A and B are shown apart, each in its own frame.
Chain A
Amino acid sequence: MTTTESTDVLVIGSGFGGAIAAYHLAAGGARVVVLERGPWLKTEDFEHDFMLGSSYTRIFDFTVGDGISVLSGNCVGGGSVVYFATMPRAPSFVFERHGSIGRRMWPSAVTRDTLEPWYDRVEEALPVTQRGWDDVPYSGGLWAAACARAGHTANPVPVAVDNKLCTNCNWMMAGCRFDAKRSLLLNYLPAALAHGAEIRPLHEVQHLSRSDDGGYRVHYNVIDDVDYRLQTASGSIDAKIVVIAAGAGATPVILQRSAPALGAMPHAVGRYFSGNGERLNTAIINEDRAAELLGLSRGGGLAYSANQIGRGPAVASWDRLDATLPEYSRFSLEQLYFPPGLGTILAQAPGAAGVSWFGVEKKEILRRWQSWLTIFTMSEDDNEGVFGPPPGTGNAMRISQQMLGRGNLGYHPTGNTLRGWAESDAAVRDIVERDGLATVMPWTNDVIGAYTVHPLASCRIGDDPATSALDGHHELRGHPGIFVTDSSAVPGALTVNPALTIAALAERAMPAIMSAARQRGIAAEYGAPAPDGGTSGRRGTAPLVATMAPGS
């Protein structure tokens, strides 16, 4: 007779949604096991190397869909290990959006004001710091100067980066070798481990079924540590509570695959996916004009020529985050860096006739790569993404040993989304092409569809059961004891980088999950301080906790 392993709480995924849950539940006294499909890399494992098989391809996934491609973390720490650590709060108007459903899409209990204390908790935990102009790399400075000359404001963005340790290497997507980026490997996850949580890397959850005692049985494959197309073993674990935080590209796929065993899923599982309205433009800067028009000099006769230097995004223009503008016309414009390869393939040559993502003109702009300035639009899309039937395993049919796969997400932008992108393209062009500072073209959507690094909303919270998979406490409708706390829970596009909002929502979900755990006989109490012991964030949220349990 075989016995199935069991735990109190099983957490799927170790990014923001999973790490925050693992920490609070373990610190509160629950037995916690975290299953993470990707590998577990330490600081010294993060390489400055483009070779396939280096940390760059081990820790994130590039999943091509029908009309959209998604970049996401694939390692212990999830998106926090590969992201650019840009941490603005979402603007107030975002929480009032109607989107595609004709009425407010967020739960009535969630507004910018009610989320502020939870934002505070995350900012204390990571921590998030403000950045001064002295910390802004050349690319961000150039974008700021161009915005100013065009009559716009521009802000250094708040970040989860220790500026003293940062070397401006721009290898953030391969993991931070200098521990400057405040990923979850430096705060929530070690604190969860210290409280007894167990993290198992290379364990990819396939589906859930019911366990004999009324809880859930979580079925996983063990993934080969080099060739992720291979499974080396499989197993299952029983848990009283399951927290799913596999990311907006994977959480709905696990639930779809679980429907035969668990019963029908809410309609919104795998629907209402948002790519955060993301869009990219590449400008080729005229170095002489940058000196003449903007008065920029970095010494050695150079005005800019510094695309490679920096730390991802550093400066954003928020002029179009104006609540009085109509929905779909609001967006932020953020300077960004993508490494060559993923950051060059879709760029088009300005002024070329016809297709120019490859060919002679493309090569000419590659010669000027150090003078590239990439501008990132985050706008309001229409939640038009829908997942097709799940693939055999995981959330994609993997093509390469690592990174590249084909998923079943379909995304066909509506007129609203397309109009927002066109308005943002025009805004970028007005800023950077003024008086010949640069030439600019948007990335093509014809090759791999649109491109998002911030997948959202595929299993979202809301008040309306017809258009939200989760209730306002992040519990999956019709399946008590299953909670979703990752990017898929965010109802829609945020017009800014979403990590801080994802994390704040996860923090906000914890009292209800703890309450559900206690109802199932788990001796656990909510109330852990920040991972480093700080208590100011906890003081801010303490009065709210009693209102956060289901039924309150």
Chain B
Amino acid sequence: MNTGAPHEENDRTMTLEAFADTIIPGEKRSPGDRAVAGAADGPGAVQGGAVELLETPAAGIADGLDDIARMLNEHARAYAAGYALILDATVPPFVALPFADRTALIRALTAPGHPEKEVWVSVALFSNMAFDTAAHMHTADALAANHPGLATIGLTKPDSDGLWRFPEFSYGRPLAELHPATTSSGGPA
């Protein structure tokens, strides 16, 4: 989980963080946090470890992240020009966009027919997975560390051997009439 001071992050990290924060938004890590827009209460994909997951060799896109960040910032620059927005030059262009504009741009990049759609969908997919599966960590470790995404969805803790078991699982009574044509093998006719 990334808890580092955002102003010390390099441009690539900030850009990827701003993208992930648009997918699953979170609260700012500090008052000066620029990458995280603070559009939602509680931690989001960035705090869930999105950049760590994107940089994991297993995800398969680590080698492309420089290009991805560069492309995203080029799109942000073009988007800003199209809407006559003046961007703060002290941060990468995508980071300089307000949250609503980040959202509008990612909607366009992931819409059917966009020539780079697959790239942006992949980054969105891993951003989402970082939040609600912590796929860059063993799940047992993530739960032990109170991973913010797993905590948000309310994933319960496993038994002491790391395996889930739910001995209480059923209402235990008939709750609907069976289809009248149900066969003797229990299926449809």
Contact = CB atoms under 8 A, between A and B. Distances in A.
Interface of A: 48-54, 57, 64, 87-92, 119, 123, 128, 130-131, 133-138, 141, 144-145, 147-148, 152-158, 167-171, 177, 229, 294, 296, 298-299, 306, 308-310, 315, 317-319, 321, 332, 339-341, 344-345, 354-355, 358-360, 362-364, 366-367, 369-370, 398-402, 404, 406, 446-448, 496
A358 B125 CA distance: 10
Interface string B108-127: 00111000001001101100
B25 A169 contact: no
A277 B50 CA distance: 33
Q: Which 7 A-B pairs have the closest CB atoms?
A: A400-B60, A154-B176, A88-B187, A369-B153, A52-B58, A50-B133, A167-B165
A419 to B, nearest CB: 20
Given A167-B166, A358-B23, A363-B44, A52 B153 contact: no
25 contacts: A48-B164, A50-B139, A52-B59, A53-B58, A54-B138, A88-B186, A88-B188, A135-B170, A148-B176, A153-B179, A168-B165, A306-B169, A308-B154, A317-B179, A321-B188, A332-B188, A344-B132, A363-B24, A369-B153, A369-B154, A399-B60, A400-B61, A401-B59, A446-B110, A496-B187
A87 B103 CA distance: 43
A401 B171 contact: no
A250 B121 CA distance: 24
B156 interface: yes
The prevalent SS among residues of B at the interface is loop
Interface string B126-151: 00110111111111101000000000
A50 B162 CA distance: 12
B158 interface: yes
B10 interface: no
Contact of B170 (A53, A123, A136, A145): A136
B172 interface: yes
Nearest to B53: A52
B165 A446 contact: no
Contacts of A136: 170-171, 175
Interface of B: 22-25, 39-40, 44, 53, 56-61, 103, 106-107, 110-112, 118, 121-122, 124-125, 128-129, 131-140, 142, 152-156, 158, 162-180, 182-183, 185-189
Given A136-B170, A341-B128, A447-B121, A130 B185 contact: yes
B170 A134 contact: yes
Contacts of B163: 48, 167, 169, 177
A50 B186 contact: no
A399 B119 CA distance: 11
B60 A137 contact: no
Given A48-B139, A138-B170, A141-B170, 6 more contacts: A52-B53, A52-B135, A294-B175, A298-B171, A359-B103, A366-B131
The prevalent SS among residues of A at the interface is loop
B154 A148 contact: no
Given A49-B140, A52-B56, A168 B169 contact: yes
Nearest to A322: B181
Contacts of A168: 165-166, 169
Contacts of B122: 399, 404
Contact of A344 (B106, B124, B128): B128
A360 B26 CA distance: 9
A130 B166 contact: no
B158 to A, nearest CB: 6
Contacts of B175: 133, 136, 141, 144-145, 148, 154, 294
Given A318-B179, A496-B188, A366 B164 contact: no
A283 B50 CA distance: 27
B154 A152 contact: no
Nearest to A112: B189
Contact of B24 (A341, A354, A362): A362
Contacts of A177: 163
Contacts of B186: 88, 130-131, 155-158
Most buried by A among B137, B139, B158: B139
Contact of A308 (B128, B156, B188, B189): B156
Given A309-B166, A344-B132, A448 B174 contact: no
A343 to B, nearest CB: 9
A299 B170 CA distance: 11
A318 B133 CA distance: 33
A64 B125 CA distance: 12
B107 A355 contact: yes
B136 A52 contact: yes
B61 to A, nearest CB: 7
